Amino acid sequence: MDKFMNSHWIMKIVALLLALMLYTTVNIELKNSKDTAEFPTTSSDLVTVADVPVQVFYDQENLVVSGIPPNVKVTLKGPKSIITQEAVQKDFTVLADLTDLALGTHIVELSYRDISDKITVDVIPAEVTVTIQEKVTREMNVAIEQVNADKIKDGYTTDEAIVKPSSVTITGAKEEVDSISYVRANVNLEGVAATFEQEAIVKAYDVAGNVLNVTIEPNVVDVTVPVISPNKLIPLSVEQAGEVAEGYTILQLQPVISEIRIFGPQNALERIQDLVVEVDVSQVNEDTTVDIPVELPNGVEKLEPETIQVFIDVEEEVEKTFLALPIKVIGLPEGAAIDFLNPNNGFMDITFTGAISIVEGVSSTDFELYINVEDLNAGENEVKVEVNSPPNVSWELPQDTVIVEITP
């Protein structure tokens, strides 16, 4: 064996065989590699991606653009592994570049970016018709439309609505903004029976009543609609409650208004014909004007005004006495005679008090003292003395009764 291995020719033949085997192996690997490059093992696929947003490039500060769809479809064709990744991640962008276009209408091709160059891309639609217009801004007042006004609760009416804010800012294409006839928000009155607040959406309309495609800021306003219930005016009067400070008297209580409006159901209004308000004059010692809250009568929902002003005319009180006023006799039968036993002369003093201005104008003839003997029997009788006095004074007699003797 050793002799065989040491043979020079034998070793050369073995080396040649090994070289041939190595050459063959390398060629086979290269061929396989080439075949793989020319015929990929990865399969091809087609995927449609819906709702892909369109990015639009233009001068947004000065221009308004219409005609660009918010979303488009995109079909992707290529190696399945790449398409699947693109469809899931949606890292690509569809765009419309309008930066170099003038005002007017144009046909614009939608382009795309950020997609592998190994993918075939189709945007649907591939082209869009775009209108570019000048952007303008205008401020306009908001009108309120009262919807279903005929369905408000019976007997109720509405006053002018209050809108906050009362005006809005409108931005849009010049042609669109110039065609605005009015800006309006609607409120529904069906079945309402009280003042209410409501948020209302603001829209712009042309002269034909069509809603215009403009931006309104704010697009929602707060609306207050005053609802007025059935009501009527009734007479108002005042009366004194309490006593003024000692030594003073009330000349008059004079309300600033003579009528007051009451609101409520019709049946409640029909029951109320007037309203009397009490005025507390306790400890009043000078002329003054007071505010008096008016209590709601039963069944009334609201008053206008809710508070009234009353002027209190106060004056210092004085006392005065008229002496020996005659006592008249009423109801004495014909032919009968009467004698006063106490007081024995048929005269009586009277002391009265009142405001200085009133007392100074009173004379003794303004008082009448009398007794009524119509139902009395003959003989001695005690009879109450009655007094007719001028207004706004109080009076006092030295005695309330007299003793008389009637003779038939």
Q: How many residues does the chain have?
A: 408
Strands (E), 58-175: 63-66, 71-79, 93-97, 104-109, 111-113, 120-124, 127-141, 143-147, 157-158, 162-164, 167-173
Nearest to 314 by CA among 279, 275, 278, 276: 279
* pLDDT, average across residues 272-281: 95
CA 205 to CA 18: how far, in whole Å?
Answer: 94
Architecture in CATH of 327-407: Beta Complex (2.170)
| pLDDT exceeds 70 at position 334 | yes
Longest dimension (CA), the chain: 201
Q: Enumerate the domain spans of the chain.
A: 44-134, 142-228, 231-316, 327-407
CA 157 to CA 288: how far, in whole Å?
Answer: 39
Confidence band (pLDDT; 50, 70, 90) for 274? very high
Phi, psi of 283 (to 5 degrees): 65, 15
The pLDDT value recorded for residue 169 is 97
Nearest to 375 by CA among 315, 311, 331, 328: 331
- Render pLDDT for 90-141 as a digit per residue (tens, 0 to 9): 778 899 999 999 999 999 999 999 888 888 899 999 999 999 999 999 999 9
The pLDDT value recorded for residue 35 is 41
Q: What percent of the chain has pLDDT over 70?
A: 89
The pLDDT value recorded for residue 136 is 95
The pLDDT value recorded for residue 117 is 85
Q: Which residues pair with 146 in a beta bridge?
A: 187
Confidence band (pLDDT; 50, 70, 90) for 18? low
Nearest to 91 by CA among 123, 49, 43, 45: 49
Which CATH fold topology does 44-134 show?
RNA Polymerase Alpha Subunit; Chain A, domain 2 (2.170.120)
The pLDDT value recorded for residue 44 is 73
- Would the pTM count as exceeding 0.95? no
- Are 79 and 47 contacting, i.e. CB atoms less than 8 angstroms apart? no
CA 76 to CA 258: how far, in whole Å?
Answer: 87
Is there a common fold for 231-316 and 327-407? Answer: yes
Beta-carbon contacts of 162 under 8 Å, excluding residues fewer than 6 positions away, are: 223, 224, 225, 226
CA 297 to CA 276: how far, in whole Å?
Answer: 10
Q: Which residues pair with 143 in a beta bridge?
A: 184
- Render pLDDT for 144-165 as a digit per residue (tens, 0 to 9): 999 998 888 888 888 899 999 9
| pLDDT exceeds 80 at position 12 | no
Q: Which CATH number fits domain 231-316: 3.30.930.10, 3.40.50.2000, 2.170.120.40, 3.40.50.300?
A: 2.170.120.40
Architecture in CATH of 142-228: Beta Complex (2.170)
Lowest mean pLDDT among 21-30, 94-103, 198-207: 21-30
